[in-house]
């Protein structure tokens, strides 16, 4: 009897346990798995998922028409596209070496529907000819601007110092322009220091695409602190210049050199110069020769009007610029000229490229300088400064630069031990290279 009694009790417990479990299972809501649709990939304003994407580079001898014909767009339509967009984009100006993207149909024909010509990493021309649409417009990648701070100590030269820090020659050239009349970058001394506050541009947050404004800088050269601040003098006219910590203008009416950065003066103005090429006779040299690599851009040293642009005799290719009733400059031996007579050029504009045309034994530009119709040595002239800051603006200027000066002063300089270690490492690498050779 007892055995049957306990058996019944056991069966009842099992039954109740199973019933409770079922009730709990029934109470639990069903798990819902949410499947998210993938986000569409939008590039150049198009949903890329709807196209076959073809990336390529224009080859030598290829044209807009040849490329589209290869992607099943035939010449009647190519001509219609070229005509329709000619005021926006001249298809004859596509250049070998430039990358492009074609958005083609997703069917078996893969017919081109959109052609994207990439001028650079930021700017492209988009030509849309899908169906009956024909349009061309400029597309710019979203650019993020990040403020950077950097400091360095000169070991060899400024450009190399920036390169060691991971910044390219473009930034070095920008800074050299700012200090073109204040710092001789070829006479910087070892252990001179610098600090910069500048903008760097990125696309997709990670890809660097150049530099923006250099906001402030300071060079410690021969024990002197040389400050430079970018200041908008007139926001309506867009007048911007660089001034020192006492509101003195850094720019002069004339640049020191028609070559931006990497050059050397191979021959100075000398009225009693003897030339071996002419039998060691005295032949006055009324210019200053700036030796630089073949093809280096040549700038006009001041704003003015081009009065001569020609190729003639010993001068070779040359350009002459009249700046005002007092000053005129001339640039000789160019590989090629970029400007024509009558053009107005601004200080720093490229007017040609270093070459070897005319009487010359090596690539250089002979820079000639006239004052009141007489050729003179520009380095011996007391040249005028550009327009200074008016006194009424100075209080606001000083208020503007105070936080920038404080920011510059807080940027730490690399310690000398780090610089010596870098120098020793470079020497070791140089020794290894020499040993291999």
The pLDDT tens digits of the residues spanning 383-415 come to 766 677 889 999 999 999 999 999 999 999 987
- 173 and 68 assigned to the same domain: no
- Mean pLDDT lowest among 19-23, 147-151, 281-285: 19-23
- 355 and 373 assigned to the same domain: yes
Q: How many CA atoms lie within 13 A of 156 on its CB side?
A: 11
What Cα–Cα distance (Å) separates residue 252 from each residue in 231, 240, 249, 379? 16, 14, 8, 13
> For position 91, what pLDDT does the model report?
94
Q: Is the pLDDT of residue 291 over 60?
A: yes
Q: Is the pLDDT of residue 351 over 90?
A: yes
Report the candidate in 81, 94, 99, 75 with the shortest Cα–Cα distance to residue 135: 81
Among 349, 380, 411, which residue terminates a domain? 380
- 270 and 372 assigned to the same domain: yes
- 208 and 109 assigned to the same domain: no
Q: Is the pLDDT of residue 436 over 80?
A: no
Q: CATH number of the domain that 211 lies in?
A: 3.10.450.350
From CA 347, how far away is CA 9, in angstroms rounded?
Answer: 106
Q: CATH number of the domain that 302 lies in?
A: 2.70.70.10
Q: Is the pLDDT of residue 375 over 80?
A: yes
Q: Is the pLDDT of residue 282 over 70?
A: no
> For position 42, what pLDDT does the model report?
86
- Mean pLDDT lowest among 111-125, 129-143, 372-386, 409-423: 409-423
Q: Does a structural domain hold residue 333?
A: yes
- Write the DSSP string, 75-138: HHHHHHHHHHTTTT--GGG--TT-EEEEEE-SSTT--EEEEEEESSSSEEEEEE-STT--EEEE
**pLDDT confidence bin for 143, thresholds 50/70/90:** very high
Q: Does a structural domain hold residue 417?
A: no
Mean pLDDT of the chain: 85
Q: Is the Cβ–Cβ distance between 344 and 324 less than 8 Å? A: no
Please return the burial class of 208, using the count of CB atoms within 10 Å of its CB with bins 0-12, 13-18 and 19+: middle
| Domain count along the chain | 3
Among 329, 360, 380, which residue terminates a domain? 380
- 210 and 284 assigned to the same domain: no
Please return the burial class of 396, using the count of CB atoms within 10 Å of its CB with bins 0-12, 13-18 and 19+: exposed
Q: Does a structural domain hold residue 422?
A: no
- 268 and 360 assigned to the same domain: yes
Q: Is the pLDDT of residue 2 over 70?
A: no
Specify the higher pLDDT residue, 283 or 235.
235
From CA 41, how far away is CA 103, in angstroms rounded?
Answer: 13
**pLDDT confidence bin for 183, thresholds 50/70/90:** confident
From CA 380, how far away is CA 433, in angstroms rounded?
Answer: 44
Among 361, 380, 399, which residue terminates a domain? 380
Q: Does a structural domain hold residue 28?
A: no
Q: Is the Cβ–Cβ distance between 115 and 98 less than 8 Å? A: no
Report the candidate in 261, 265, 293 with the shortest Cα–Cα distance to residue 377: 265
Q: Does a structural domain hold residue 425?
A: no
From CA 329, how far away is CA 375, in angstroms rounded?
Answer: 9
Q: Is the pLDDT of residue 29 over 70?
A: no
- Of 39-43, 64-68, 240-244, highest mean pLDDT: 64-68
- 200 and 231 assigned to the same domain: yes
Q: Is the pLDDT of residue 284 over 60?
A: yes
- 281 and 374 assigned to the same domain: yes
> For position 170, what pLDDT does the model report?
87
- 290 and 368 assigned to the same domain: yes
**pLDDT tens per residue, range 206-233:** 889 999 999 999 998 878 899 999 999 8
What is the DSSP code (8-state) at residue 389?
P
- 149 and 100 assigned to the same domain: no
> For position 186, what pLDDT does the model report?
67
From CA 379, how far away is CA 368, in angstroms rounded?
Answer: 11
Q: Is the pLDDT of residue 39 over 70?
A: yes
Report the candidate in 287, 259, 282, 286 with the shortest Cα–Cα distance to residue 272: 282
Averaged pLDDT, 177-192: 77
Domain that holds residue 238: 143-243
Report the candidate in 215, 153, 150 with the shortest Cα–Cα distance to residue 188: 153
* pTM of the complete model beyond 0.95: no
Q: Does a structural domain hold residue 274?
A: yes
**CA dihedral (152, 155, 159, 162) positive or negative:** negative
- 55 and 132 assigned to the same domain: yes
Averaged pLDDT, 23-31: 57
pLDDT over 90, % of the chain: 52
Q: Does a structural domain hold residue 233?
A: yes
- Of 14-18, 87-91, 160-164, highest mean pLDDT: 87-91
Q: Is the pLDDT of residue 8 over 60?
A: no
**pLDDT confidence bin for 421, thresholds 50/70/90:** low
Q: Is the Cβ–Cβ distance between 154 and 189 less than 8 Å? A: yes
Q: Does a structural domain hold residue 282?
A: yes
Max Cα–Cα distance, the chain, nearest Å: 143
Residue 10, phi then psi, degrees to nearest 5: -60, -45
- 50 and 65 assigned to the same domain: yes
């Amino acid at each position: 009897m007892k055995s049957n009694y306990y058996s019944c009790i056991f069966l009842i417990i099992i039954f109740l346990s199973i019933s409770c479990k079922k009730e709990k299972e029934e109470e639990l809501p069903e798990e819902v798995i949410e499947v998210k649709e993938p986000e569409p990939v939008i590039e150049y304003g198009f949903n890329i998922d709807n196209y076959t994407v073809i990336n390529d580079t224009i080859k030598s001898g290829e044209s807009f028409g040849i490329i589209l014909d290869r992607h099943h767009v035939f010449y009647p339509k190519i001509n219609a596209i070229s005509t329709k967009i000619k005021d926006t984009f001249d298809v004859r100006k596509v250049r070998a070496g430039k990358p492009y993207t074609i958005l083609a149909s997703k069917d078996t024909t893969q017919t081109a529907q959109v052609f994207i010509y990439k001028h650079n990493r930021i700017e492209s021309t988009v030509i849309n000819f899908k169906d009956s649409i024909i349009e061309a417009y400029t597309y710019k990648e979203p650019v993020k601007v990040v403020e950077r701070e950097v400091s360095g100590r000169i070991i060899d030269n400024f450009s190399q110092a920036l390169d060691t820090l991971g910044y390219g020659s473009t930034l070095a050239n920008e800074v050299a322009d700012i200090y073109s009349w204040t710092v001789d970058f070829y006479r910087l001394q070892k252990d001179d220091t610098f600090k910069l506050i500048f903008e760097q541009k990125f696309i997709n947050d990670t890809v660097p695409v150049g530099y923006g404004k250099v906001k402030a800088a300071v060079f410690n050269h021969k024990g002197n602190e040389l400050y430079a601040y970018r200041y908008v003098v007139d926001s309506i006219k867009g007048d911007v210049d660089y001034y020192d910590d006492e509101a003195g203008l850094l720019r002069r009416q004339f640049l020191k050199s028609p070559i931006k950065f990497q050059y050397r003066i191979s021959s100075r103005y000398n009225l009693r110069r003897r030339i071996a090429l002419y039998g060691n006779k005295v032949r006055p040299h009324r210019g200053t020769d700036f030796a630089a690599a073949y093809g280096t851009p040549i700038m006009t040293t001041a704003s003015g009007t081009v009065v001569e642009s020609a190729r003639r005799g010993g001068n070779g290719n040359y350009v002459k610029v009249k700046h005002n009733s007092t000053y005129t400059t001339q640039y000789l031996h160019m590989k090629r000229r970029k400007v024509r007579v009558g053009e107005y050029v601004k200080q720093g504009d490229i007017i040609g490229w270093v070459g070897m045309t005319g009487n010359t034994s090596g690539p250089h530009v002979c820079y000639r300088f006239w004052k009141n119709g007489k050729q003179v040595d520009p380095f011996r002239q007391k040249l005028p400064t550009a327009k200074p800051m008016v006194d009424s603006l100075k209080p606001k200027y000083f208020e503007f630069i105070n936080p920038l000066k404080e920011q510059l002063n807080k940027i730490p300089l690399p310690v000398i031990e780090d610089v010596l270690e870098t120098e020793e490492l470079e020497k070791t690498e140089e020794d290894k290279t020499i040993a291999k050779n």
